[in-house]
Amino acid sequence: MTVAIRVEGLNKSFGGRRVVKDFAIEVERGRITGFLGPNGSGKTTTLRMLCGLLTPDSGSGEALGYDIIAESAEIKRRTGYMTQRFSLYEDLTIEENLQFSARIRDLDRVRQRVEAALDQLGLTERRRQLAGTLSGGWKQRLALATATLHEPELLLLDEPTAGVDPQARRTFWDEIHRLAADGLTVLVSTHYMDEAERCHDIAYIAYGELLARGTAEEVIRSAGLVTWRGEGPGVDRLSPELLGDPAIELAAPFGLALHVSGRDASALETALEPYRRPPFRWTRTEPGLEDVFIHLMGRVEDNFR
C-alpha cells in the first residue's frame, strides 16, 4: 500500500482553546476517507492543516510525500480543496470561474480544460450564467469541478453537501467515486450517515481527538455494542426512563422505533426485562454507524465532565 497522508502529533489551538489534540492519521492513496464528528470537533481545522492553510502548533507529517510544514507549497500545487462555504465568485459566470481557477494554478491548455469541465458538468449551455444564480446542488458540483481542474492527487472536501438535496448529493458522490477510481485520494468531512457509508474508510473525531478509525464495519465492530430495537406504541418515549439504568448506554429514537444499546449484552438484557411486555416488541439488531457515533460522543462527553 502507498500512503498519501501520514501525520502525527498534530496540535492546534485558537485563543487558548485546543481544537486539535495529538492528531495522528494514515491515509492510503486512492481511498475515500470520511471525517465524521460533532460540530466544532476540529474536522475543518485538521483539513486546513493538511493542505497548508493553517500551520500546526506542533506535530509533523507528510502529505503526498511532502512535509506538511516545510513543503506546503508543493502540497497546495497537488491538492484540491473545497471549502465549507460556497467560495466561488458569485459575480463571475460559470465559465469565468473555471477559467480563473485554471489560471490561478498556472495550468496549460486552459481553454481545453474549461471546455472539458463544462462538458463533464453538463453546463456547456449555461456557461454564461452567473455562478451566484445556480442552485445549491449545481454550486457544489461547480465548486468540485474547479477544485479538480488541475487534476490533483489529493482532494479535501469540507462538508461539501451541506444543505444539498439527496438527488444532487447522489450525483456529487458518483463524481467523487469516479475520481477516486482514477487514483485520487479523498478526505471528506460530513454529518450525513449515508455519506459516511459511501466512504471507504471512516475517521471519527470528537473534541479534537481521533476516536475511531477503519471501514464502517470495523468501526461498528470495534465499538462492541449490542443493540435492541424496540417497537410498539409509545416505545420512543421510554428513553429517559431507560437511560437511568447504567447498563443502557444509548437509547435513541429512530422514527417510531427505539434503539437501545450497551456494551454488556447480559446486563442490557436484564435492564430491558421489565419492558418486555405488550405493547412493546423487542428484536436484536445490528448497531448502525449512527448508534456507534452517538455512543462514542457520549463517552467523550463523560470524560470532559
Partner 1 sequence: MSAGRLPARRGFSRQRMTAVLVKEFIQLTRDRLTYAMILAVPLVQMMLFGYAINSDPRHLPTALLVQENSVFARSVVSAIANSSYFEIEHEVRSPEELDRLIRTGQVQFAITIPGDFTRRVVRGDGAQILVEADATDPTAVGSAVAALASLPSEALRHDLTGAAAASARSAPPFELVVHRRYNPENVTAYNIVPGLLGVVLTLTLVMMTAIGVTREQERGTMESLLATPVQPLEVMIGKLAPFVIVGLLQTAIILLVARLLFGVPMAGGWAGLAIGTSLFIIGSLALGFLISTLTRTQLQAMQLSVFYLLPSILLSGFMFPFRGMPEWAQWLGTVIPVTHFLRIVRGALLKGQDLAEMAPSLLALAVFVCVVSALALARYRTTLD
Question: Which of 7, 54, 202, 294 forms a contact with partner 1 (CB under 8 A)?
Answer: 54
Measured from the CB of residue 163, what is the shortest distance to partner 1 in angstroms?
Answer: 15
Region near partner 1 per CB under 8 A, out of 47-55, 201-209, 224-232, 253-261: 47-55
Report residue 37 as a C-alpha cell. 464528528
Nearest distance from residue 89's CB to partner 1, in Å?
A: 6
Selected from 37, 38, 52, 208, the binder of partner 1 by CB under 8 A is: 52
**CA–CA gap between residue 49 and residue 33 (Å, rounded):** 16
Please state the closest distance from residue 158 (CB atom) to partner 1, in A: 9
149, 98 contact by CB (below 8 A): yes
Return the C-alpha cell found at 225. 455494542
- From CA 31, how far away is CA 197, in angstroms rounded? 13
Closest distance of CB 169 from partner 1, Å: 21
Say what the alpha-carbon torsion angle 152, 46, 194, 295 is, to the nearest 10 degrees: 160
Span near partner 1 by CB under 8 A; candidates 25-33, 59-67, 80-88, 118-126 = 80-88
The contacts of residue 71 (CB under 8 Å, 6+ apart) are none
Q: Which is nearer to partner 1, 102 or 225 (CB)?
A: 102
Minimum CB–partner distance for residue 139 and partner 1 (Å): 12
Q: Pick from 129, 178, 171: which is nearest to 155 by CA?
A: 178
Which of 77, 191, 221, 299 touches partner 1 by CB under 8 A?
Answer: 77
Among 55, 124, 133, 222, binds partner 1 (CB under 8 A): 55
Site for partner 1 in 85-114 (CB under 8 A): 85-90, 104-106
Q: Residue 94 class from Cβ within 10 Å (0-12 exposed, 13-18 middle, 19+ buried)?
A: buried
Q: Of 259, 264, 254, whose CA–CA distance to 286 is shortest?
A: 259
Q: Where are the beta strands (DSSP E) in 161-222?
A: 185-189, 201-206, 209-214
Check if the beta carbon of residue 295 is closer than 8 Å to that of residue 225: yes
The answer to the question of residue 256 lying near partner 1 (CB under 8 A) is no
Shortest distance, CB of residue 76 to partner 1, whole angstroms?
5
Q: Which stretch binds partner 1 (CB under 8 A): 74-82, 112-120, 121-129, 206-214?
A: 74-82
CA distance 146 to 67: 25
Stretch that binds partner 1, among 73-81, 196-204, 273-281, 293-301 (CB under 8 A): 73-81
Query: Which positions ≥6 away from 3 have C-beta within 8 Å?
Result: 26, 27, 28, 29, 62
57 vs 245, beta carbon nearer partner 1: 57
Residue count at the site for partner 1 (CB under 8 A)? 21
Q: Which of 1, 70, 73, 181 binds partner 1 (CB under 8 A)?
A: 73
Task: Based on the shown chain and the rule CB under 8 A, indicate whether residue 81 belongs to the binding site for partner 1.
Answer: yes
Nearest distance in Å: CB 80, partner 1: 8
269: which residues sit within 8 A by CB, 6+ positions away?
none
**89 versus 283: smaller Cβ distance to partner 1:** 89
Residues that bind partner 1 (CB under 8 A): 48, 51-55, 73, 76-77, 79, 81, 83, 85-90, 104-106
